[in-house]
Amino acid sequence: MGTMQWLGHLRDSVQRERDMDFTRGVTLSEPARAATLRALQFFQRGLSSPGMNLRSKVRQGCPEEYIECIDLYVREKGIHADLLARLIWAMGGEPGKRNVPDFVFRRFRRRFGWTAEIMVLLTAEMVMAPVLRVMVNHVDDPLVRDVVSSILADQAWHIGFHIDHLRPEVRAMSGVENFALQAAWGALFTTTLTVLLAECEPLFESIGYSRLTCWTDAWNLFAQVQTGLNGSDHLNAILSRDPRIRFAL
């Protein structure tokens, strides 16, 4: 997909009706409710950012169409944060406060240029996706499934959007630069995924789901995204048939 196609998709997506009925509340046992609530609070904290730093960076040299795409992307992440906040309130909780991992992650990504910051955000999208899928499939509440599946569908498109626009930047690097980037990216992915799975351990215990399975799904998704950025044109063509990158989503 070209930038104008992504722009059209994002314009439509932020205007899409998200008509979940939050008045019906959530019906989970107390252990399951507490574990699910903790995971949702962690995700909600991560999504609640105005993205001013990134939006400023892309305005320093990116095309107007891509600038608008990033504005819409940040806006959609804000919609997701609001949906999760409303779900948390429906569960009788409060949106979580800032913590050390969240502070470090935000400070870390803001130290780089727009390309590296997008790769950090893409990392967050990838580690969240398999956990959100586990929640959709195994948390036994209709409202939780509706909200999380809506966010997950949008995130799948976000991954495809980032791949399309990072690919030229990655291919412009030298072999040594790209090798160093991939090594650093793998380390970041490992650290981020480890923190997330540790935070969501009560959720996995409450539903009887293996963290190892989720870890494996996340790494398989990471491998596919790496293929989209660095693989042959033939493999990229295969991936481009579904820009949402369906695996593990």
Structural domain includes residue 224: yes
Report the pLDDT value the prediction gives residue 211, as an integer from 0 to 100. Answer: 93
Structural domain includes residue 248: no
**The overall pTM is greater than 0.85:** yes
Asked if 71 contacts 55 with a C-beta cutoff of 8 angstroms, the reply is yes
Task: Flag whether pLDDT at 247 surpasses 50.
Answer: no
Task: Flag whether pLDDT at 49 surpasses 50.
Answer: yes
Give the separation between CA 177 and CA 154, rounded to whole angstroms.
31
pLDDT tier at 66, thresholds 50, 70, 90: very high
Please give the residue range of the domain that contains residue 173.
3-12+26-240
Report the pLDDT value the prediction gives residue 203, as an integer from 0 to 100. Answer: 96
For the chain, how many structural domains are there in total?
A: 1
Structural domain includes residue 17: no
Structural domain includes residue 247: no
Structural domain includes residue 249: no
Structural domain includes residue 19: no
Report the pLDDT value the prediction gives residue 248, as an integer from 0 to 100. Answer: 41
Alpha helices in the chain (DSSP H): 3-15, 30-47, 52-58, 64-90, 100-109, 114-138, 142-171, 175-199, 201-207, 211-230, 233-240
Establish how many alpha carbons lie within 13 A of residue 5's alpha carbon, considering only the half-sphere containing its beta carbon.
Answer: 8
Structural domain includes residue 218: yes
CATH classification at residue 176: 1.20.1260.10
Task: Flag whether pLDDT at 240 surpasses 60.
Answer: no
Q: List, for residues 126-145, the tens digit of each pLDDT value.
A: 999 999 999 999 999 999 99
Structural domain includes residue 69: yes
Closest CA to 22 of 73, 92, 112: 92
pLDDT tier at 111, thresholds 50, 70, 90: low
The stretch 83-96 carries a mean pLDDT of 93
